[in-house]
Amino acid sequence: MTACCDPAEYDDVFTSKYARRLAKSLRSSGLDDTATKMADFATAQGLDGATVLEIGGGVGGLHMELLRRGASQATNIELSTAYEGEAARLLAESGLADRVSRRNADVVADPSVAPAADVVVLHRVVCCYPDFPALLGLAADRARRALVFSYPRPRLLTRTETVMENLGYAVRRRTFRTFVHSPDAMLAVLAEHGHTPLDGGQNLRWQYSGTVRTGAEGP
């Protein structure tokens, strides 16, 4: 499997308009339901003073919430550069700017950008990346204590939506694709990297799994 399609396309797919929509929704309604449950899972693992690594965190609502709940510091690694303006505004408004480090990179192509952290989070990210074993393997290796990630439920609704979305990308001659990866296969990758599932949940479209480290720490 390739590491990625054309990384430059992430800026075309996840645009500043998309970032504005996410920031507006965050200001008016807070975190979405799945992200809130992911934050609850992370909190239950003990957030006081914890460090957080978020991969593909967009405008940053989830790691900002973890900081409000007691985490000490967060790093966000994001492929698209289009979020940075909105993220900076949200950080300034929240007073959390000095506790967040943001970097633009494909974390699989350049793993050196991602520090180890007590808690690693990926919300709606594995579905935007073809090589989930590489992405989740790296995320698990970085997670000293716990990891929580969300993904589309593997059902007719999400599979149909994915096919339609990908048709749209193909028509526009983009190589970017979205994916409904197998939950069992994703959890198997995490198990290979020392993580055991502890909790999870789902709604109509999205599912999340929270795991804890039970094996040796990654490289």
Is the four-CA dihedral 87, 90, 93, 95 of positive or negative sign? negative
Compute the least distance from the CB of residue 163 to ligand SAM, in Å.
17
Nearest residue to 205 (alpha-carbon basis) of 160, 167, 138: 160
Q: Is 124 near ligand SAM (CB under 6 A)?
A: yes
Least Å distance between CB 188 and ligand SAM?
19
Considering only CA atoms, give the Rg of the chain: 16
Cα 175 from chain centroid?
21
Q: Return the residue nearest ligand SAM (CB atom).
A: 56
- Taking a C-beta distance cutoff of 8 angstroms, is the pair 155, 88 a contact? no
Question: Binding residue for ligand SAM (CB under 6 A) from 57, 130, 200, 210?
Answer: 57
Beta-bridge partners for 151 = 207
Minimum CB distance to ligand SAM, residue 214 (Å): 25
Alpha carbon 149 to its chain centroid, in Å, reads 6
Judged by CB under 6 A, the stretch of 45-53, 76-84, 181-189, 192-200 that binds ligand SAM is: 76-84
Closer to ligand SAM by Cβ: residue 86 or 118: 86
How many residues bind to ligand SAM according to rule CB under 6 A?
Answer: 20
What would the two tokens of residue 214 be? Answer: 């039970």
Part of the chain binding ligand SAM (CB under 6 A), chosen from 74-82, 86-94, 169-177, 182-190: 74-82
